[in-house]
Amino acid sequence: MEQATTLVSGLGMGESARWHGGEFYFADWTAGTISALDAVGNVRRITGVPSFPITFDWLPDGRMAVVSGADGSVLLEVPHAGLIPLADLRGLSAHPWNEIAVHPSGNMYVNGIGQDYAGEPRNNGLIALIRPDGSVRQVAGNLAFPNGMLISADGNTLVVAESYAGRLSSFTVRPDGSLEPAGTWAAVEGSAPDGISWDGSGGIWFAEVPGERCVRVQEGGEVLQTIDLEDGCFSCAAGGDDGGLLFMMTAQWPQVMDPGYEKTGRVMVQRVRPPALP
């Protein structure tokens, strides 16, 4: 396979990798922005977001749902109106909110870390369910720093990365939107999974900051592929016209948290699956 190449450089802290509608989307947490990269390398700013963590996903009607994590707010991108408030999560937790995943029904799931970033590792993370009308309730708890989160195409399974536990945990999505714990989807000893992405064949890619790599695992925990990188990797997304590219958000860690440090954030890409034959 080809080696990883740089598509965009000079970012602060790139995160929230997403492939959507033929373009690659990402957030820059230090700049407070969401941007998109098209097929010819042009970057355009989509919107500014009040606070980080910044994550986003798309509702079935095409609108973008955006998490402003430190504010504990979920916003909707509305044409000609910008971002408007949808839900306030501060009643469930005053700590930062981290990742969002939209269900095919239009329900939204947002996880929160349940502690301050500088605190000792704890199992205080939670997942909130937000309905399209903005109503909120907690549907899972006791997670070890929940991070990346995915929902299966059939809507029956939610998978969340637990960074402090080195595993991807799964839940069954009930018809009413509540979650039933379904056990460990995959565990990799010594790992700290961050952002995650379906690989297009039933497996999951996870990005890892301390390990400076991306890892592809199948359900049960077998490691199928590893991409070693020079910097920490915060998020990844499989995409491209044939789904065979892996987009990765990297930066030097922990220097990226120093406001005065050189901006080392990059969007990188590597082909991870051979191009389809014509």
pLDDT band, very low/low/confident/very high, at 95 (cuts 50, 70, 90):
very high
State the pLDDT confidence band at 164, using cuts at 50, 70 and 90.
Answer: very high
Average pLDDT over residues 221-240: 96
Return the pLDDT at 224: 96
Which of 108-117, 168-177, 237-246, 250-259 shows the lowest per-residue confidence on average (mean pLDDT)?
250-259
Dist. CA 26–CA 154, nearest whole Å: 25
CA–CA distance, 118 with 163 (Å, rounded to integer): 15
Q: Is the pTM of this model over 0.85?
A: yes
pLDDT of 276 reads 65
Q: Is the pLDDT of residue 146 over 80?
A: yes
d(CA 248, CA 17): 7
pLDDT of residue 117: 72
Query: Which amino acid is located at 255 in the chain?
Result: Q
Residue 36 CA to residue 149 CA, distance in Å, equals: 20
- Cα distances from 172 to residues 17, 98, 104, 136, in angstroms, run 24, 21, 14, 19
Residues sharing a CB contact under 8 Å with residue 207, sequence separation 6 or more, in sequence order: 17, 148, 193, 194, 195, 196, 214, 233, 234, 235, 236, 248, 249
